[in-house]
Structures are given as structure tokens and as C-alpha cells.
Amino acid sequence: MPDKGLFFGLLLPWLALFHFWGNSTFGYVASPSLFSWMYTAYNYEGSEDGHGNLVPFVVLGLLWWKRKQLLASPKSVWWPGLICLGLAAVLHVLGYVVQQQRLSIVALFAGVYALVALVWGKSFARASFFPFILFGFCVPLGALAEPVSIPLRQLSTNAAVVLARHFLGIPVVQDGVQIMDPKGAYSYEVAAACSGIHSLVTLLALTTIYGCVSFRTNWRRLVMVGLAFPLAMLNNVARLVSIVMAAEAFGRETGQFVHEWFGFVTFIGALVVMMVVGRWLREPAVCPGALPAASGA
């Protein structure tokens, strides 16, 4: 790789900016470092964003996996990368002033990508786009997930009740996001943790990685990424219906057992569907000696 010294010479001051002037709020994390704020957001008790600890390693692994394609990409300084870097800096300043660390996290990784484009060129940046986009999973959702999780809760409950009543003949009663037995034998509330948002985030990451690893063309990659949304919904509905079936047949305790331990079965089913769709979308074999298209077209 040419110009490694130039890249790391620019990367270190960029990272230093976020370490020394990254966090403008000290109510929860008494540090000016954005990295300290991110670590706390990922690892406090009850955090649902722990996957953020793994994302940088996954991205580095994918870049290493694509190293032959990246090394074969034409490389040259691309000066518009400076404009992209400036925009990332402006976004960080905005996030710093309004005390929104999530904006600064986006700016952090957008700036790193801008440096890649600046030092090694547009073709190299295009070839590394899909691994870099995984850095989006480093942004902790927290309360931001509510606009998605609340509709997911209601939609999952509605679908599960329809299936239970009209296809399985189980006379359940619905009250908002609660599913109850008319005789009071069992009652389950689709809480925020059961909304399917965790399955959605996990499947979105997995389908993105699968698309990046398995396909060269962007439209196939986007199909795989878009598949995460219906898969997460179907996975959650199947889990809810399984809970109701178990409680109806064997009692509340069995339904609770399925609630606690059966989710991985429906999740494996979602992964199987992902693999089947991926096989259906498989690309023609590349002729020996041909280089993968850097454009991803």
C-alpha cells in the first residue's frame, strides 16, 4: 500500500480531535473523550448497544478479506476528499455544540472514510464502502429506537393475534400490545425488549456483512440488506405465536420457557431464509484472472 505514512499521519490528529474535544457533556461521562462516551454507552448495565464494541474489528476483518481487491484498485490523491473531511469536521462541531454525541460519532467515521478517499482515491474508497458502512452500527440507539420499536411492538402483536385466532383457532384476547387468554390462564405483554428491534439490528448487521462478502454488485447487496426488515418481523411474529401455542397447550410455565429460550430457534430460521435468498441471488462466476469491478456495478 502506498502512502501509508501520509494516511496515518492524518488519521492520528483526526482521532486526537475526538479524544480531547469529542464530548461536551460531563453529566454521565466525566471525560472530554468521545471514545470514553462510546465505551460507556456500549457497556453500562442494561445497555442494548454492546455490539458497538465488536464493529471496528468486524470492519477491519472485512477490509483484510477484501485486501486483494483493494490492493488492485487504482490509487491516487483525490482532493475532493478534503471537502468531505471538512464537512465531517463541521458535523462534529455541530454535534459538540448541541451536545449530541451521536452526530460526532457519525462525523468521526465519515472523516476516516474521507481520509481514505483523499489519500488513496475515489476507486479505493468505492471498493471499501460496504465495510465502512458497518461503522453505522457504532452509533448507540438508546431512546432513538423508540420510534421504530413502538410500531414494531404493535405490528408484531396484531400479526400474532391474527395468526393465533384465525389460523390456529386459539381464542386469545388483545389489549394494545398484550396477548391474553380469555380465562386468564396466561397473559403476555410485548415489551420494548420483545419488539423485534434487537433482531432487526442483528439481522441488519448480518445481512450487510453477508452482502459485502458474497456479492460484487451493489443491487444484490442492497437486496440482502433490505431483507433484514421482513426477516426481523417474521422472526418476532413466529416467536410470539410459539409462546401462545406453548402456553395454550401446556400452560403458562411452558409459554414462559419458550419466551426465555426459544427465540434462537426462530432466529436460526431467519438465517436459513437469508442463506436461501443469497443462493438464489448468486452471481455468475468470475473468469479466471479477471478482477472484481471496483465500482460494484
Yes or no: say if 157 and 179 are a contact pair by the CB < 8 Å rule.
Answer: yes
| Side chain identity at residue 214, one-letter code | S
Strand partners of residue 189: 178
DSSP 102-150: HHHHHHHHHHHHHHHHHHH-HHHHHHTHHHHHGGGGGS--GGGGHHHHH
User: What pLDDT is recorded for position 102?
Assistant: 93
pLDDT digits (tens, 9 = 90+) for 3-38: 999 999 999 999 999 999 999 887 677 889 999 999
DSSP letter at 297 equals: -
d(CA 190, CA 167): 20
The answer, yes or no, to whether residue 113 has pLDDT greater than 80, is yes
Least confident of 150-164, 165-179, 202-216, 252-266: 252-266
pLDDT at 288 over 60: no
Residues 6+ apart with CB under 8 A from 4: none
Residue at 247: amino acid letter:
A
Could you report the per-residue pLDDT of 247-284, keeping only the tens digit for each?
Answer: 888 877 787 777 776 667 777 888 888 889 888 888 77
User: pTM for the whole thing?
Assistant: 0.76
- Label residue 285 by pLDDT band (50, 70, 90): low
Domain ranges of the chain: 4-140, 145-280
Beta-ladder partners of 178: 175, 189
Q: pLDDT tens across 39-50, in order?
A: 998 888 777 788
Least-confidence region, from 60-74, 145-159, 209-223: 145-159
Task: Say whether pLDDT at 79 is over 90.
Answer: yes
Most confident of 63-67, 107-111, 230-234: 107-111
Q: In whole angstroms, what is the distance from residue 9 CA to residue 4 CA?
A: 8
With 50 as the cut, is the pLDDT of residue 51 above it? yes
Q: What pLDDT band is residue 124 in, cutting at 50, 70 and 90?
A: very high
* 3 state DSSP class of 175: strand
